[in-house]
Each structure stands twice: as structure tokens, then as C-alpha cells.
Amino acid sequence: MKKINLNNFKISNSEPFCLIAGPCVIENRNHTIKMAELINEICQDLKINYIFKASFDKANRSSSKSFRGVGLEKGLEILHEVKSIINCPIITDVHNEHQCIEIGKNDIIDIIQIPAFLSRQTDLLIAAGETNKIVNVKKGQFLSPYDMSNIIEKILKTDNEKIMLTERGASFGYNNLISDFRSIEIMKRLSYPVIFDATHSVQEPGGQGDKSGGKSEFVPVLSKAAIAVGVAGLFIETHDDPDNAPSDGSNMLKIKDLRNLLLTLKDLDNVSKF
């Protein structure tokens, strides 16, 4: 079972789970720093290893009119400030090889995340691997867990073995996803850390016509199920005001509900792994 060293902790299917959390997209400097501080305070108190997540660009929005973010240059400036203030690892999405090259030039981003829709893009996977940063690949809604072995092989061609795999549900007809928890066990057999994305798993892609919907009330249920199976980490997008968030508000967890959920998840994690 592979373990990835990050800061002062290890990411592994056999270690206590880490939390990847933050708003879906960078809305502005103040909101991003505020959310990072709120999540960090909770995780420090509960002694949970924490990775801050926010996207500088959401290139796969349902509509061309949807808010995409602040862009690469401004986004990296804000994330650098978050890292300086909070001193926590940072993960963010990439959508093309150029973004990987730019991110690879500095130490701001610790983990490059490949969105589910792009999980089979060979050139993107290779560009991400060549940064020698940790690469987290979200399993496409259209892929089986067995297909992830081919994705791993592509990244390994860059001599980068720092790979994480994320389960985020599978397409079930139109505008609906379901989580098959067999997928977690199947991907764990590939030896790499497996993350469960609890918030995108409740998404309803394109469910509201020009934007995606979601049922955030199921985030705690799926989170508990994934932790019970045993995962290296949990991915939870969270917001102080999801109803007015510019991206994925319908499936984000309210920040006020995060602490109590994590308390329960810690207890379940202790049972499932120890």
C-alpha cells in the first residue's frame, strides 16, 4: 500500500483520513482566505490533516454564462496568500498542459487535480506528472474503477508515483449520479490512496438547465459510508452561503455543519482502520 508524504503527514488508505475541503471556486481574495481560516480552525481543533481546495478556473461549467473563477495568475496569488497565512497544503484543478507548466514553476500548489471529465486526457495527465507534484485524478463518471489502471500507467511514464485516485459517482441516466462503494475497494487494490468526493457525488449534472443541481442533504450519508469502507481522504466542498455560491452551491456542505460531521467521521475512521 503506497503512502504519499505531504508536509508532516502521510496520505494512505491505511492512515487516518485527511480532509480536502474548501469552496468550489475562488470567488475573491477575502472569501477564499475566510473559508481557509474557518476550515483550518476546525481541523486544528479536531486534529485532522487538512488540504485546502479551491479552483482558479472552472472550465467545464454547464453554461458559457456561468462564473468560472479569477483565472490562473490571480488564483495563484490568492492561493499563495492562503498558504502563507494558514500554512496548509493546497490542491487545485487544471484543465490544460499550460496550466500544469505554470503551476510546476513554484511551490504554491502541492496537489494537481485532474477533473473527472478530463481523466483520460493523455497529454494532460503526462503534463501533470511531469511537474513531479502529487496528482489527484478524479475518476470520470463514464469510467469503471478498473479503467483507472490505464490512467495510472500514463502518469507513471513520467516517473512520478505520487498518485491519488478519487471516486465521485457514476452516471445513472441523465442528470443523476450514484455512488458504487465497490469502486473504492477496487481502486484500493491498485495500491494508491483513494479519496471519496462526497459533494460532487450528490451533484445533478446540468440538472437545472443552464447549471448543475444537487442534493447536499446526502453529503453526510455518503461521507459516513465511504469512511466506513476505508479511504485515504474525504473531499468536501464547503461554503458559508451555498445558496448564493456562484458554482456548485446545490451540492456544497454548509460550513456550520462541517465540525459535527467530522467528529462522527473520526469515530468511524478509527473503527474501520484500527
Share of the chain above pLDDT 90, in %: 88
pLDDT at residue 65, as a whole number = 67
Q: pLDDT, tens digit, for every residue of 45-65? A: 999 999 999 999 977 756 566
- Give me the CATH code for the 4-273 domain, please: 3.20.20.70
> Confidence band (pLDDT; 50, 70, 90) for 209?
low
**CA distance readout (Å), 30 to 27, 37, 72, 195, 221:** 9, 11, 17, 28, 31
Domain definitions of the chain by residue range:
4-273
Q: pLDDT, tens digit, for every residue of 21-46? A: 999 999 999 999 999 999 999 999 99
Asked whether the predicted pLDDT for residue 208 surpasses 80, the reply is: no
Q: 155: closest CA among 120, 117, 189?
A: 120
For residues 159 and 148, is the Cβ–Cβ distance under 8 A?
A: no
Asked whether the predicted pLDDT for residue 210 surpasses 60, the reply is: no
C-alpha R_g of the chain: 17
Q: pLDDT, tens digit, for every residue of 14-23? A: 999 999 999 9
- The Cα–Cα gap between 202 and 199 comes to 6
Give Cβ neighbours of residue 158 (< 8 Å, ≥ 6 apart).
Answer: 126, 129, 130, 132
Tell me the average pLDDT across 162-185: 95
Q: 57: closest CA among 42, 39, 41, 78?
A: 78
Whole-model pTM: value is 0.95
pLDDT at residue 60, as a whole number = 72
